[in-house]
Structure 1
Amino acid sequence: MNHLDEIVRRLDALEAVESIKKLKARYFRFVDEKKHDELAALFTPDAHLVTDGITWKSPQEFAYTIRDLTGAAPSVHHGHMPEIEITGPDTASGIWAMEDLLTFPVGPNAPEGHNGYGQYRETYKKVDGEWLIDSVLLTRFRMDPLENWAPDA
């Protein structure tokens, strides 16, 4: 490989990493902005999603469960310190530290709100020139309880 080819390879890798960072930023933003269809579209159609030990059948099931569970309740999701590795021309993997603050609408069967800390381990695939999330494994290391959200409070 000549010097110019090496520069092009490195530039392509940097652009891929930046595209994946933007992809994950949209993931967090769409969850918090309640844009569930847009959230589902960030994944490959056959993405493998596991969060806190729950395996989801599809990106749509994952996104719509979030919609149905949280409704209009506020949430805050952050991803930190990405470690992204380009594994092939159209594949990559990443590890993200995460923190989320989640409160659910007050109700008799409402899950307890939490401030969670953990880690995403993901793979990505470039499809038709666009990076998408191909797999997610979310593990929370700690969850501190938070009071749930009451719209009229």
Structure 2
Amino acid sequence: MDDIEAIKQLKARYCRLLDTKDWEGYRQVLTDDVVIDTTDYGGNVVTGGDAFLEFLRVALADTVTVHQCHTPEITMTSPSSADGIWAMEDRVRFPDGTDLNGFGHYHETYEKADGTWRIKASKLTRLRMDFAKPASG
């Protein structure tokens, strides 16, 4: 498998493991020193794979999520590094029944170590976020 295909599969695992809340598997897609930036829509910068995992466990507790990533633009910057931009859509159902449907882009860097690609940095930029409250009955 070539490196670009391996990065595409990495991102597919990222989405699947996140949505299934397979936290042990999800942690393996991130470098130990990963930097995750969600400041574009009011979040924070989190540094470190373990720290980000703990943030997600709390932030996504009792939610149902569906993440889709499309149309990757991947550029190899060295034999062991790459940059990528992915169009994304996510859906989140919160415990109170509120639904979020979001659209935007992941801007990422990847690092290959010991033959395995991992996410080194990720910044999520949003173009749109639609919220729907549950219908009152």
Q: Is 1:127 aligned to residue 113 of structure 2?
A: yes
Amino acid at match of 2:20: E
- After superposition, the Cα gap between the structure-2 partners of 1:28 and 1:83, relative to the gap in structure 1 and judged at 3 Å, is same
TM-score normalized by structure 1? 0.79
In the alignment, the residues of structure 1 paired with residue 39 and residue 99 of structure 2 have an alpha-carbon distance, to the nearest angstrom, of: 15
Q: Is 1:115 aligned to residue 101 of structure 2?
A: yes
Q: Residues 63-82 of structure 1: matches in 2 within 5 Å?
A: 63-82=53-72
Q: After superposition, what is the alpha-carbon deviation per residue over 1:60-98, rounded to whole angstroms, capped at 9, x for unaligned? A: 222222222222421110000000111111111100000
Shift of 1:59: 1.9
Q: Which runs of 5+ in 1 are unaligned?
A: 1-13, 149-153
TM-score normalized by structure 2? 0.87
**Structure 1: 4+ residue segments shifted above 3 A:** none
In the alignment, the residues of structure 2 paired with residue 126 and residue 33 of structure 1 have an alpha-carbon distance, to the nearest angstrom, of: 25
Which structure has the bigger radius of gyration?
1
- Report % sequence identity: 40
Considering fraction of residues, name the structure with more helix. 1
Do the aligned residues in 2 keep the contact of 1:69 with 1:104 (CA within 8 Å)?
Answer: no
Amino acid at match of 2:16: R
- After superposition, the Cα gap between the structure-2 partners of 1:82 and 1:70, relative to the gap in structure 1 and judged at 3 Å, is same
Greater CA deviation, 33-42 or 57-66?
A: 57-66
Q: Which runs of 5+ in 2 are unaligned?
A: none
Aligned length: 131
Do the aligned residues in 2 keep the contact of 1:52 with 1:140 (CA within 8 Å)?
Answer: no
Q: Is 1:136 aligned to residue 122 of structure 2?
A: yes
Aligned equivalent of 2:133: 147
Aligned equivalent of 1:101: 91
In the alignment, the residues of structure 2 paired with residue 15 and residue 82 of structure 1 have an alpha-carbon distance, to the nearest angstrom, of: 15
Amino acid at match of 1:43: L
Aligned equivalent of 1:92: 82
Considering fraction of residues, name the structure with more strand. 2
